């Protein structure tokens, strides 16, 4: 096909190219800096862009979410405890599980026994329980099966009440608590990542830049610190400090910076003996300017990548600590403590676990994908 096409082109269309001396060496595309290049690579990475949008959405929700309804995060009311999720628009979509009903299947030796079990489970309010016989049974144990749907909002005379994500064991609105918890988790993660960044970069930078005895002493200290598993340090710190946001940040940062400092030290050691730094030094540039103009721009990529990966790490550790009872304490919420409470009610009220679990999973996945995207974007091998 191609060959035929080539032959079909009339000869007179071919015009000799006149070579002009002044334009042949001209650079046609604008020259881009390293950062512009990285930005282009990052924004052409669709999963990373999508993840950034997701993260932004969750951050915005964690700020405005609690204001979107009228419940407070610590308004306890046992009368409205453990209400299932109910959203006005989704009330008629039963598979979403947001229509404000509790349901379950009950077994018994016949339909009557199974129904009795269902009624006992759902506050004995017969008029609000819809029964649907799945299996009539043959009289043997647990052979009959009945699916019961309990319209709990009507039963409790709260027809105009909507708990979008349900309410927890103390009657607090899960929607409000979820977004406030997300906010707490995000604050901890960002502050811990920022502290890692500041301490790690200064420690590693100073150690490598001054070298010699300073480096030797600082590295011996770091070597011992790195040998102590950070899990152990974090657990011990959490025992000493009063549980709360600040304690978690301190516990996470006390060893978190070491990884960053090692990377920064390695990079600075590599850079500081290179010709462009030597040239700059020969010209009499001060240490401060060398650090600012030559070292920082060259290691900023690796610093950004590392910070990006320490955010999900901190989110995980906060959730882990709160989960084992060493983190955020009630009435405050965090993603970890909400998941912990969700586990206590997993069997009967799975929605209490589902929503915080989804938020933390989405956050972690999104941060990791953005981190991967940044790594690709800042890797010089990728730009050819």
Should residue 221 be labelled a site residue for another protein when binding is judged by CB under 8 A?
no
Nearer to another protein, 158 or 169 (CB): 169
**Alpha helices (H) in the chain, listed in sequence order:** 2-8, 34-43, 46-64, 111-121, 152-155, 174-210, 212-227, 230-240, 245-272, 275-282, 287-289, 296-323, 335-344, 351-378
DSSP 171-195: S-BHHHHHHHHHHHHHHHHHHHHHH
Tell me how far, at minimum, the Cβ of 224 lies from another protein, in Å.
Answer: 6
Tell me how far, at minimum, the Cβ of 302 lies from another protein, in Å.
Answer: 17
Should residue 342 be labelled a site residue for another protein when binding is judged by CB under 8 A?
yes
Should residue 329 be labelled a site residue for another protein when binding is judged by CB under 8 A?
no
Should residue 384 be labelled a site residue for another protein when binding is judged by CB under 8 A?
no
CB 149 within 8 A of CB 130: yes
Should residue 89 be labelled a site residue for another protein when binding is judged by CB under 8 A?
no
CB 69 within 8 A of CB 101: no
Should residue 312 be labelled a site residue for another protein when binding is judged by CB under 8 A?
yes
Q: What's the token pair of residue 240? A: 């000493």
CB 122 within 8 A of CB 151: no
Should residue 231 be labelled a site residue for another protein when binding is judged by CB under 8 A?
yes
CB 185 within 8 A of CB 335: yes
Burial grade of 376 (CB within 10 A; 0-12, 13-18, 19 or more): middle
Which stretch in 7-15, 133-141, 219-227, 274-282 sits in contact with another protein by CB under 8 A? Answer: 219-227
Nearer to another protein, 325 or 331 (CB): 325
Instruction: Report d(CA 260, CA 309) in Å as an integer.
Output: 11
Instruction: Find the binder of another protein among 236, 246, 278, 382 (CB under 8 A).
Output: 236
Nearer to another protein, 190 or 316 (CB): 316
Note the residue count of the chain. Answer: 384
Nearer to another protein, 107 or 202 (CB): 107
**Alpha helices (H) in 71-170, listed in sequence order:** 111-121, 152-155
Instruction: Find the binder of another protein among 218, 303, 339, 341 (CB under 8 A).
Output: 339
Half-sphere exposure of 148 (CA within 13 A, CB side): 28
Nearer to another protein, 220 or 292 (CB): 220
Burial grade of 147 (CB within 10 A; 0-12, 13-18, 19 or more): middle
Tell me how far, at minimum, the Cβ of 276 lies from another protein, in Å.
Answer: 28
Should residue 135 be labelled a site residue for another protein when binding is judged by CB under 8 A?
no
Should residue 313 be labelled a site residue for another protein when binding is judged by CB under 8 A?
no
Place of tokens 């881009």: 32
Should residue 260 be labelled a site residue for another protein when binding is judged by CB under 8 A?
no
Should residue 324 be labelled a site residue for another protein when binding is judged by CB under 8 A?
yes
Instruction: Find the binder of another protein among 90, 128, 190, 320 (CB under 8 A).
Output: 320
Instruction: Find the binder of another protein among 91, 171, 364, 376 (CB under 8 A).
Output: 364
Nearer to another protein, 297 or 350 (CB): 350
Nearer to another protein, 278 or 324 (CB): 324
Should residue 130 be labelled a site residue for another protein when binding is judged by CB under 8 A?
no
Should residue 249 be labelled a site residue for another protein when binding is judged by CB under 8 A?
no
Which stretch in 38-46, 63-71, 248-256, 365-373 sits in contact with another protein by CB under 8 A? Answer: 365-373
Binding site for another protein (CB under 8 A): 223-224, 227-229, 231-232, 235-236, 239-240, 312, 316, 319-320, 323-326, 339, 342-343, 346-347, 350, 353, 357, 360-361, 364-365, 367-369, 372
């Amino acid at each position: 096909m191609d060959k035929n096409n080539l032959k079909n082109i009339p000869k007179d269309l071919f015009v000799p190219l006149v070579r002009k001396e002044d334009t042949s060496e001209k650079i046609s595309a604008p020259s881009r800096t390293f950062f512009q290049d990285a930005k282009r690579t990052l924004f052409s990475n669709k999963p990373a862009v999508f993840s950034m949008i997701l993260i932004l959405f969750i951050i915005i929700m964690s700020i405005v979410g609690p204001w979107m309804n009228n419940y407070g995060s610590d308004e306890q009311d046992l009368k409205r405890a453990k209400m299932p999720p109910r959203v006005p628009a989704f009330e008629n979509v039963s598979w979403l599980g947001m229509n404000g009903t509790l349901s379950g299947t009950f077994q018994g030796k016949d339909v009557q026994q199974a129904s009795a079990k269902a009624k006992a489970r759902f506050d004995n309010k017969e008029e609000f329980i819809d029964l649907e016989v799945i299996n009539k049974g043959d009289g043997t144990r647990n052979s009959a099966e009945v699916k019961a749907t309990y319209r709990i909002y009507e039963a409790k005379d709260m027809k105009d009440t909507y708990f979008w994500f349900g309410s927890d064991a103390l009657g607090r609105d899960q929607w409000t608590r979820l977004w406030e918890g997300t906010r707490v988790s995000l604050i901890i993660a960002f502050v811990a990542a920022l502290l890692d960044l500041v301490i790690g970069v200064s420690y590693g930078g100073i150690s490598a830049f001054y070298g010699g005895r300073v480096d030797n002493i600082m590295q011996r200290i770091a070597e011992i610190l790195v040998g102590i598993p950070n899990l152990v340090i974090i657990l011990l710190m959490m025992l000493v400090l009063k549980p709360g946001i600040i304690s978690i940040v301190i516990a996470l940062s006390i060893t978190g910076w070491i990884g960053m400092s090692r990377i920064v030290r390695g990079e600075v050691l590599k850079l500081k003996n290179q010709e462009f730094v030597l040239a700059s030094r020969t010209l009499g540039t001060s240490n401060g300017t060398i650090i600012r103009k030559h070292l920082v721009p060259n290691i900023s990529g690796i610093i950004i990548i590392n910070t990006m990966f320490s955010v999900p790490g901190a989110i995980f550790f906060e959730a882990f600590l709160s989960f084992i009872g060493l983190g955020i304490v009630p009435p405050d919420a965090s993603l970890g403590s909400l998941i912990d409470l969700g586990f206590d009610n997993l069997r009967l009220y799975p929605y209490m676990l589902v929503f915080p679990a989804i938020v933390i999973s989405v956050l972690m996945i999104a941060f990791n994908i953005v981190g991967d995207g940044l790594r690709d974007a800042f890797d010089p091998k990728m730009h050819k």
